[in-house]
């Protein structure tokens, strides 16, 4: 299976990647069920506590990442409290240079901004002034006012748009057919119950 690495660290904002992880793991409606394996990765393999109080034990440490199909970086208070999570930003930059997709939401975008990832790529975040506060950020001209932005292998999102963030991730992974992806988004982002019909169609005889 292709390995999708999901970073986990102290103060992680649980809700920001919940839609993405739940539906990557749930193979229903996938274009190729069983294609992806979701692996949690920490700075070490010591347990961490999320912002919501969940205790999570990483599957591997950051030094053990290999053969990645994507790296997902959730927000966390730690992104704004120092450089403890800088190894994840450096790893993201390394993976992008190698052609591996990276998806970052909320505070994780600040880490990528400090790493210089945004200087040559379209991106979004909580707000442009938030990124302009980050030392090393030179991407003002590439900032896009949008809920989620994909530029090549880089996906970024505002902290208030976890569904849009998930949609961009699914599209990059080619997880669903375009019709199913559209229905999924209409259901979870717009509460369009008519989308159930399109979602159920792939499993119909």
Whether the Cβ atoms of residue 154 and residue 96 lie closer than 8 Å to each other: yes
205 is catalytic: no
- Rounded Cα distance, 154 and 156, in Å: 7
User: Distances in Å between the alpha carbon of 53 and those of 5, 14, 47, 48, 92?
Assistant: 21, 9, 12, 9, 26
Q: Which residue's structure tokens are 């986990």?
A: 8
Catalytic residue among 43, 78, 85, 106: 106
Tokens of 38: 């979701």
- Rounded Cα distance, 110 and 28, in Å: 34
Q: Which helix or strand (DSSP H or E) is residue 61 part of? A: strand 60-61
Count Cα atoms within 13 angstroms, Cβ side, for 65.
26
Residue 82 DSSP one-character state: -
Please list the active-site residues: 106
């Amino acid at each position: 299976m292709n390995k999708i690495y999901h970073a986990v660290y102290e103060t992680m904002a649980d809700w920001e990647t919940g839609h993405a992880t739940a539906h990557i793991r749930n193979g229903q409606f996938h274009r190729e069920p069983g294609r992806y394996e979701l692996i949690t990765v920490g700075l070490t393999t010591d347990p961490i506590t999320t912002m919501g109080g969940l205790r999570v034990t990483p599957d591997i440490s950051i030094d053990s990442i290999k053969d990645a199909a994507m790296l997902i970086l959730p927000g966390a208070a730690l992104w704004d409290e120092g450089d403890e999570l800088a190894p994840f930003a450096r790893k993201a930059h390394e993976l992008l240079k190698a052609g591996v997709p990276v998806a970052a939401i909320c505070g994780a975008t600040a880490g990528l901004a400090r790493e210089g990832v945004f200087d040559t790529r379209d991106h979004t975040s909580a707000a442009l002034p938030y990124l302009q506060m980050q030392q090393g950020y030179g991407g003002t001209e590439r900032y896009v006012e949008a809920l989620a932005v994909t530029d090549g292998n880089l996906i970024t999102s505002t902290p208030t748009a976890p569904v849009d963030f998930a949609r961009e991730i699914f599209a990059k992974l080619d997880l669903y057919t375009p019709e199913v992806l559209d229905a999924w988004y209409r259901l979870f982002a717009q509460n369009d119950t008519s989308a159930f019909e399109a979602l159920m169609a792939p499993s119909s005889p």
